[in-house]
Amino acid sequence: MRLLDFPWLFELGAPIYNWFNAQNVWRASCARLTAHFPRTENAPRARVLDLGCGPGNTAIEMARVRPDVFIVGLDLAPTMLRLAQNETRRARLTQNIAYVLADATALPFAENTFDVTTGHSFLYLVGDRAGVLRQAYRVLRRGGRWVSMEPRDGKTSNWIAKHWTNVRFMVSVLLWRPYSKMHGRLDEQKFPETLARAGFQNNGTELAIEGLGIIGFGEK
């Protein structure tokens, strides 16, 4: 049983989820995804699809770092998207981000539409990971990239000592770790293999959030 099997839970929990994740450590890990974006000098504005965008944390942080790209955030929960739209207005980024209500396993976009697909602590929640990755691969242009952060399976650094005063971060991690363990975390071997099965090449990983998370990336 996965949370995404019960989208109404995201409706009820959207404000709480937004409160947990509105903290600097989480935001920094969102912004870090942009390190794997293509450069756009002397090229058309890159288009980014942010899957499972929730209340917009990831899209907003990515847009702040890369104002040269246009981001489409996608989520199943209308309340999450309303929060995302409100947060985007407050951040004055409405020209950089749009939001779509849709299912990541049936993306309402044509082939070769995006330059990057992203997600932040999303793929592990999905029962049909292969289906999501197939759809992401389909809508990417040739040379386009997948990059996402997921909970990592493996040893972590002494994150409690570093962040124990950050109440929001501590609460979010103490919920995130046991729940992600139930649903199957990814690691430095599993993540590239998962991407390869969907057709991605030049796959790799890097650690995030003191080793609690892992960023996986690949290319179409």
Residue 118 CA to residue 149 CA, distance in Å, equals: 8
pLDDT confidence of residue 43: 67
In sequence order, the 6+-apart residues with CB closer than 8 A to the CB of 145 are 36, 37, 38, 115, 116, 117, 217, 218, 219, 220
Inform me whether the pLDDT recorded for 79 exceeds 60: yes
Max mean pLDDT among 15-19, 108-112, 171-175 falls in 108-112
Q: Mean pLDDT lowest for which of 65-69, 92-96, 117-121, 156-160?
A: 156-160
| Cα 3 to Cα 119: distance, rounded to the nearest angstrom | 16
The predicted pLDDT at position 176 comes to: 81
Reported as a pLDDT band with limits 50, 70 and 90, residue 41 is low
- Helix, strand, coil share of the chain (percent; to 5): 45, 25, 30
CA distance 65 to 158: 28
pTM for the structure as a whole = 0.89
- Report pLDDT for 169: 81
Residue 75 pLDDT more than 90?
A: yes
Average pLDDT over residues 15-38: 84
pLDDT confidence of residue 207 = 95
Q: What average pLDDT does range 202-209 have in this prediction?
A: 96
pLDDT at 62: 98
CATH numbers and ranges of domains, the chain? 3-219 (3.40.50.150)
